[in-house]
Structure 1
Amino acid sequence: MEISIRATGHRGAGANAVSCGPTGAPVIRFAGERVDDPQDGRRKLVRVTPIGADVLVRSAEGFDRLRAERVRALGADRLRALESDLRVMAPADAFRLDAAA
């Protein structure tokens, strides 16, 4: 699956938030760059730029902070049980991330 990065119009981590979509969508230069695939001239590859990597790291840190807050509020055992219950209710393969909107 090929992906690109496009602006969502939301603000986050000090820059436009990004989301994945088909490679036909405009690529935001600060987060990703399109390059030719050396193995297939019909394809483009999307590489994350240093700024895009920084956005991803900041997002991961934010999710880590949220999870830590939930551990403090519920306790580690209860949070693990809740996450397990949610996986039963919404299995990982229930929603395809590459499906058209």
Structure 2
Amino acid sequence: MVDQFGERNVNQVVDTGKGESDSVAGYELPLLLFAGFRTLIDRLHAELAHQGHPDLRPAHGFALQAIAAGGPRGTTASDIGRHLGVSKQAAGKTVDRLLGLGYAERADDPADARRKLVRLTPHGLDALARSAAVFDRLHAEWSATLGAERVRDMESALRRVVPAETTFRLDAGSWLGG
């Protein structure tokens, strides 16, 4: 495609003029998947803010999940970093923010006095419980709009194409050259 100045545009998203159709350009699939993800996450955070968690950000939610995966005993910043696909330092910054907001706390590791564990506070557990309830409601809304079978089929199809070992990684900076 050539722009108004005669320059060739590569990888530019353009309106195909097709409107809504079962046949869309290949580049639209990742855009639609991302837009669906953003819609759910943005609605979740708007609702969480309304329910008393205005400072939570998407990265915090993923970190809270990683901390919860360690169980009530807790987990280390290194484990959180591995779970999220970020450095120990990046995980430590997120943990520090969660500590400051009252969602997590540090504790001594009873098995190794040199290690510090991170675990959720009641405030963090509340945020996760509220998140689960909001996600259930959003899932029900999508099912009501699209049909429950269609949503189940979409989830099943995505499980087939997404590698089983894939977890959500926050290292999106590498996508952008960071």
Q: Deviations over 1:32-61 (max 9, x none)?
A: 000010101121111211111111111111
Residue from 17, 24, 28 that aligns with 2:92: 24
Verify: 1:88 aligned to 2:127, yes or no.
no
Instruction: For structure 2, list consecutive stretches of 5 or more residues without a partner in the other structure.
Output: 1-41, 64-80, 82-87, 174-178
Question: How many aligned positions are there?
Answer: 91
Please tell me the residue identity of whatever aligns with 1:92: A
Structure number with the higher strand fraction is 1
Q: CA RMSD in A?
A: 2.6
Structure number with the higher helix fraction is 2
- How far residue 98 of structure 1 moved from its aligned partner, in angstroms, is 8.4
Paired with 2:114 and 2:170, the residues of 1 have a C-alpha distance of 20
**TM-score normalized by the length of structure 2:** 0.44
Please tell me the residue identity of whatever aligns with 1:56: L
Instruction: For structure 1, list consecutive stretches of 5 or more residues without a partner in the other structure.
Output: 1-9
Q: Secondary structure at the match of 1:52?
A: helix
Q: Secondary structure at the match of 1:24?
A: helix
**TM-score normalized by the length of structure 1:** 0.72
Residue from 95, 98, 112 that aligns with 1:40: 112
- How far residue 87 of structure 1 moved from its aligned partner, in angstroms, is 1.1
Q: Deviations over 1:44-99 (max 9, x none)?
A: 11121111111111111111111001111122211111111111121231346487
Paired with 1:96 and 1:71, the residues of 2 have a C-alpha distance of 23
1:27–1:34 Cα contact (<8 Å) kept: no
Q: 2:38 aligns to what?
A: none
Q: Please identify the structure whose Cα radius of gyration is greater.
A: 2
